[in-house]
Structure 1
Amino acid sequence: MDIATPTLLLDEKKCRQNIAMMVEKAARNQVRLRPHFKTHQSAQVGEWFREQGITAITVSSLRMAQYFAAHGWNDIMVAIPMNIREMGLVNELASRIQLHVVAVNPETVEALIGQLQYPVNLWVKIDTGYHRTGVTPHSHQELDHILNLTTRSELLRFAGFLAHDGHTYKQTEKEEIQTIHNTTVYLLNLVRDRYKNHFPGLQLSLGDTPSCSVLEELRGVDEIRPGNYVFYDLTQQHIGSCTYEQIAVCMACPVVAKHPDRNEIILYGGSVHFSKDNLLQEDGSVIFGRVVEFTPQGWSAPLADAAVVSLSQEHGVVRIHNKALFDHYRIGDVMGILPIHSCLTADVMKSYLTLDGRRLEHLSGVPQW
């Protein structure tokens, strides 16, 4: 394998299968799939979605929206509460695409009313239990105020309510994920019922990879916005969202040192390549990745008794308790590591190398314009 520095490998076949799986599930449930592109942030990977009939997408910043708009996407939701300091970019994007923005307070809506130059779709985020941000579903006075404000501008179209079940990422049982999902769907529909007579076309949007992966029944909302499923990772496998075989990205890191006295191999590959996300183990320890063996088809399932146990800026420490496996690796070899969190690993790596040797770009590696 012609790799000299830490490199993020992408298995296109697995990635396309993951995309197709969610497209089929959305169609079967009669909900619109608006995938979140924050995981891959790649124009080339985006085309694989387009080939599956996807026309509407989600992103996590206005810059990301600008990037994908430049690559032909014209129905884009920015699923973070809108930063009113970027109103110029909002207007620039709204002048050429169907732009969806999110508000969680009246101040944002007032800024939109005062400064919008082109039509924009507004979604109000509901906090259904994750408690990161959003308006609680029973805050009727606040919701009334926000929705009444939207009627003051012909350029601001109230599109509906959305939620993100981020607390599913802390579950490992299907029943718990099902309970969270059911609660959110119930609360979103309660809010819709309160306002549907005044806004008959309002829609419900829900997004998180665990529920969209684990559950077969996704009805009760109009669209789903999962993102991580395009690659998956060790966190999603731990939750039960995927199998190891569905993880479509793998880090390739050179071996730079070996320490037999403590069963440790040192990789050129640290937190600036993986991020510092970790996964808690049953014994209370944490890991930062799992070791796989490269094969002619890609890579194997994780090897037993081998894991990344520590990261510093450029170094990764792999502990291997199997002597034969430890002896198998030599200085200068390239070791495969499945990441804990593919979104952050992709973001810091800034590009992908496919198994057939093609380089794919990532927004983080593209100069700002």
Structure 2
Amino acid sequence: MRVVVVSESFLPTTNGVTTSVRKVLDHLALRGHEAMVIAPAAGAPRDYAGFRVHEVPAVAYRQFPVGLPSPQVTKLIADFAPDVIHAASPFLLGAQAIDAGRRLGIPAVAIFQTDVAGYARRNRLGAATKFAWRVVRWVHEGAALTLAPSTASLADLEAAGVERLGRWGRGVDLATYHPRNRVDPAVVRLRQRLAPGGETIVGYVGRIAPEKQVERFDALRGMPGVRLAIVGDGPSLPSVRKALRGMPVSYLGALSGRDLAVAYASFDVFAHTGAEETFGQTVQEAHASGLPVISPRAGGPIDLIDHGVDGYLFDPRFDAQLRAYVEGLVLDEPLRLRMGEAGRRAVVGRSWESVCDELIGHYESVLAPVGV
């Protein structure tokens, strides 16, 4: 199979979209398929996983390159002659690719991954929320299939009038993120640095941006025996530092690979704060690491957390619930361990290999003759 992957984000930018695209490309190479990547100009490598990467014109917005429509996109697709177009989190660039595919007779599978309308809602833009969903519908209407990562996202897309929907989740690296990392000497050293008095470590991993609402951790202020560890970087870091001033917080910066696995393994509890996640990849990574997870009852984490079994879902309107759930886990180590074990069991069937095989099945479904 020949696949053109058109992504609104790619290396060197690191985020959930880039990660999932890389995993898809790795898997296509593993299964012997051919692929090509089209992404916004940002200094990407010329090749990835043996596939050529083509950059197209882009402008910077909030530290991210935004791909612009260009005649180059249609020509690249036509010259490669793919069987299917994979549009990752499509916006301007993805919309052009989907339209080009429609005119060339090439079906597109669109991956819904960014809550564009959530941005308008969070910033109280009123009528702009409806407009944002109209844009989402316009972008996706030409796709043969739109895949959403969660039941909440599917419901939102259905309500917006997007048709031809399916569900596709995300995989997790079960080898890198593993409970056995707890005994790694690097983890032991990090725990001694983060909690020199043997305190319980509550950790967060993710971009530090307005939609992540990391300032919520102020709800834990004054809780005895607790230290916070925040992994990530982004435009809201000054705001978060100000909101959490005077609290026992360690800022570890953006981490990846083994360093990120070490950070997860140093935590006792993982807490996610944003209520606009279309999926919640860090929830899966924390579960794979054997941690209980606390998250707002909203978006993707609703599908990933079994409330009371492997973590807790709190009402995002009441940060006091976040505090209560953290406090309960801080005071009950056996409960933390049971929930952590349950979280690991919950993700053992979600390897990237199995999830990407499922994606190839979705590709094949849009290639099947009508009526088959």
Same fold at TM > 0.5: no
**Normalising TM by the smaller chain, what interval?**
0.3 to 0.5
Larger radius of gyration: 1
Structure richer in helix, relative to its length:
2
Query: What's the TM-score, normalizing by structure 1?
Result: 0.34
Higher relative contact order (CA 8 A, sep 6+): 1
Query: What's the TM-score, normalizing by structure 2?
Result: 0.33
